[in-house]
Amino acid sequence: MNGKLLSILVILSLSFIACNQSQTTGTENKGVNVGKIAYVNVDTLMEKYQFARDLNEEFTKKQENMTADLNVKAKKLDDMIKSFQYRAQNNGFATRKRAEQEQRHIQKKQQELQELNQTLQQELAKDYQEMTGRLQDTILSALRLYNKDGKYALILRTQKGGNVLWGKPELDITKDFVEQLNSAYDAKNVSEKEEKKEKK
């Protein structure tokens, strides 16, 4: 799970957003004014939107910390196994019963490590789901605000290798939309910092 997976979920949230379609009055077959169409480049959004970058960094650090912790425990277990094998091959146990006890102890440690790995993977999956939910909610809310005047009837997403092969540059609202996202995110951070100062 990394930035690419995060992008996939954002892509899903941006794949088809219809906003405030308007119709002109008239008789049948005289046409309908469906408004303008625009698109957002998801690759650029994920690269430039600071909130998405911060979330990805936060998740990556947690994943790295968990991996490091597991690696330390796995190394200790590996050392225990090697020590057991050496002692077993060189008559290092006073009795067979003592060797069997040590073997059971190692097997228990192996099981505990496997269970810890599963628990951490589940925790990461839960965190990832919550993180992507927060990101999607933020983007969709921002899109509604961005299009509050109903200027666009449809906002599509595009990305490298996506469904939109080409679009006129003037239909690309990515830069403007990302600027709005970052402006709101910066304002939120400033507000939170001021609240923390007041509490102190």
Q: What share of the chain in percent tops pLDDT 90?
A: 60
More confident residue, 165 or 25: 165
CATH label, 3-24+32-195, candidates 3.40.50.1220, 3.30.910.20, 3.40.50.150, 3.40.50.10420: 3.30.910.20
Q: Please write the tens of the pLDDT for every residue from 181-190.
A: 999 999 888 7
Average pLDDT for 143-147? 92
What are the boundaries of each domain within the chain?
3-24+32-195
Q: What pLDDT was estimated at residue 91?
A: 87
Q: Please write the tens of the pLDDT for every residue from 14-33.
A: 444 444 434 433 334 444 44
Q: What pLDDT was estimated at residue 140?
A: 92
Q: What share of the chain in percent tops pLDDT 70?
A: 78
More confident residue, 110 or 20: 110
Phi and psi at residue 165, in whole multiples of 5°? Answer: -80, -35
Q: What pLDDT was estimated at residue 78?
A: 96
pLDDT at 49 over 90: yes
pLDDT at 151 over 60: yes
Which of 74, 76, 93 is closest to 85 using CA atoms? 93
More confident residue, 23 or 170: 170
pLDDT at 34 over 70: no
